[in-house]
């Protein structure tokens, strides 16, 4: 370190300060203060208090060295010290306070390792075992996020673009209100029609259950009721572009998931698992709807305001929708595999057999060339239920919007509509899931996951 005369230290004391600053750290450690000759030394010779403060700040900065432990928190630093002490001396920390990695060492009887190398090897093996335990859940979540997120994002962008084109074309063509309303009614009937075809298929194949029958019936009733309400309130004529986009959206999902299915070994959903997932799905959709109010208009809503097409706005909507669907799929699979919500496993679960209860939950993306049966399941049963679900929610919210009119402020009306939307999707989640349940024999293979 070099201190220039610009620091304000008088020349009389400069030589002493400079000589001390050039002494190495090792020499300072061996310096005997009694050997220093301080005869006639006056502190005032070093300068004013402000000059002294500046000099010591320079000295302090010069002697500060970065520590590799400075970024560790208290818990991590304590674990590091315990691990180093165990490797060096073999001392095991106290039971209540020690890090979880020591439990793995105890299980492997490594505490009796005689050499430092043996203890280091045991610690490394325990660390690898600890990381191995987190690999399964991480890989499951990665498969869910990659598969569902990618498909939903691309399908949503396509839905918004098609909806924008349809709304723009109808505005330019000046289509009559009655024609638009009847077109919306025709689209709304596609879902119940496919659901009915799927129910007949399941009856003939022996896969139908009372839950699937009730699910199909509830979805059909919901669509019929919501359609009637939208027609009576005059909202049906405004929903045709959005409903057209939904048909394209569901079709795109069916195509992608036919070739790239997401499979899990958690078994079928029961009432408890579906109820928890439905509540979480409704809450998540409400939060996303509230967040979407701050986002730019996209799809048919943008065309209705006379704005030009904006891919960025559609991409934002796609990201929000993908986030909600990834959370939905992960929640449903976790609930199906959690013993608290599924204490009695169904016959389709690997956990129903005592010999297989130690098998871990596995969620994987498959690649396949779909058979005719798989295509029929995707485009008739699953697509029909999803179309019925989506159209029932859209028509219901449209009817509520028409009934509210201008009786309340825009912000209040937005909160009310988002609340109605969340309640509707949560209620219809039960028939959506149950409509696609199959009555099958005892199998332990990965099965395709069906959600909203």
Q: How far apart are CA 253 and CA 102, in angstroms?
A: 47
**Mean per-residue pLDDT, 261-270:** 85
Q: Which residues face 365 on adjacent strands?
A: 262
**Mean per-residue pLDDT, 58-87:** 64
pLDDT the model gives residue 147: 94
Does residue 9 carry a pLDDT above 50? no
pLDDT level of residue 450 (50, 70, 90 thresholds): low
The answer to whether the beta carbons of residues 318 and 235 sit under 8 Å apart is no
| Residue count (the chain) | 452
Does residue 152 carry a pLDDT above 60? yes
Which of 321, 212, 336 minimizes the C-alpha distance to 275? 336
**Mean per-residue pLDDT, 384-399:** 94
| CA distances in angstroms from 27 to 16, 20, 24, 31, listed in the order given | 16, 10, 5, 6
Domain ranges of the chain: 5-62, 138-448
Q: Which long-range contacts (CB under 8 A, 24 or more apart) does 288-293 make?
A: 288/320, 288/321, 288/323, 288/324, 289/418, 289/421, 289/422, 290/415, 290/418, 291/320, 292/317, 292/320, 293/414, 293/418
Q: What are 292-333's pLDDT values in tens digits?
A: 988 999 999 998 888 889 999 999 999 999 999 999 999 999
Q: What are 84-102's pLDDT values in tens digits?
A: 777 777 777 766 566 666 6
Does residue 449 carry a pLDDT above 70? no
pLDDT the model gives residue 95: 64
pLDDT the model gives residue 443: 44
Q: How far apart are CA 38 and CA 4, in angstroms?
A: 23
- Those residues whose C-beta lies under 8 Å from the C-beta of residue 240, and which sit 6 or more positions away, are 166, 170, 180, 181, 183, 184, 187
pTM given for the model: 0.72
Does residue 23 carry a pLDDT above 50? no
Using CA of residue 375, residue 380, residue 384, residue 385, what is the dihedral sign?
negative
Q: Which residues face 448 on adjacent strands?
A: 263
Does residue 55 carry a pLDDT above 50? yes
Percent of the chain with pLDDT over 90: 42
Residue 418, number of CB atoms within 10 A of its CB: 19
pLDDT level of residue 399 (50, 70, 90 thresholds): very high
| Mean pLDDT (the chain, rounded) | 80
**Mean per-residue pLDDT, 216-232:** 94
């Amino acid at each position: 370190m070099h201190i220039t005369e610009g620091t304000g230290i008088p020349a009389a004391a400069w030589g002493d300060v400079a000589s001390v600053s050039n002494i190495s750290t090792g020499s300072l450690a061996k310096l005997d203060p009694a050997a220093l000759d301080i005869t006639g030394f006056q502190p005032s010779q070093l300068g004013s208090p402000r000059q002294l403060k500046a000099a010591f700040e320079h000295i302090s900065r010069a002697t500060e060295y970065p520590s590799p432990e400075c970024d560790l928190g208290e818990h991590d630093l304590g674990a590091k010290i315990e691990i180093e002490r165990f490797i060096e001396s073999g001392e095991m920390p106290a039971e209540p306070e020690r890090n979880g990695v020591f439990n793995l060492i105890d299980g492997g009887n490594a505490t009796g390792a005689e050499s430092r190398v043996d203890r280091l090897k045991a610690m490394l093996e325990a660390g690898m075992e600890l990381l191995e335990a987190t690999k399964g859940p991480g890989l499951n979540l990665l498969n869910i996020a990659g598969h569902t997120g990618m498909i939903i994002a691309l399908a949503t962008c396509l839905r918004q673009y098609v909806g924008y084109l349809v709304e723009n074309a109808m505005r330019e063509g000046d289509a009559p209100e009655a024609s638009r309303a009847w077109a919306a009614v025709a689209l709304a009937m596609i879902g119940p029609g496919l659901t009915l075809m799927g129910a007949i298929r399941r009856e003939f194949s022996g896969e139908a259950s009372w839950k699937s029958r009730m699910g199909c019936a509830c979805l059909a009733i919901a669509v019929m009721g919501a359609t009637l309400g939208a027609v009576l309130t005059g909202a049906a004529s405004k929903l045709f572009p959005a409903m057209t986009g939904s048909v394209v959206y569901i079709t795109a999902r069916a195509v992608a998931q036919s070739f790239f299915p997401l499979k899990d070994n958690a078994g079928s959903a029961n009432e408890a698992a579906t109820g928890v997932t439905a509540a979480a799905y409704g809450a998540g959709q409400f939060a996303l709807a509230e967040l979407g109010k701050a986002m730019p208009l996209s799809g048919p809503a943008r065309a209705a305001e006379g704005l030009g097409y904006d891919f960025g706005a559609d991409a934002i909507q796609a990201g929000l929708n993908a986030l909600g669907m990834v959370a939905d799929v992960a929640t449903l699979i976790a609930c199906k595999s959690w013993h608290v919500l599924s204490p009695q496993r169904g016959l389709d679960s690997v956990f129903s057999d005592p010999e297989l209860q130690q098998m871990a939950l596995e969620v994987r993306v498959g690649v396949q060339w779909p058979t005719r049966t798989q295509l029929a399941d995707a485009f008739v049963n699953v697509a029909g239920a999803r179309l019925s679900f989506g159209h029932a929610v859209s028509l219901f919210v449209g009817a509520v919007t028409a009934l509210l009119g201008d009786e309340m402020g825009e912000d209040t009306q937005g909160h009310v509509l988002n609340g109605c939307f969340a309640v509707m999707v949560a209620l219809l989640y039960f028939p959506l899931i149950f409509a696609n349940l199959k009555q099958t024999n005892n199998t332990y293979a990965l099965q395709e996951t069906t959600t909203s």
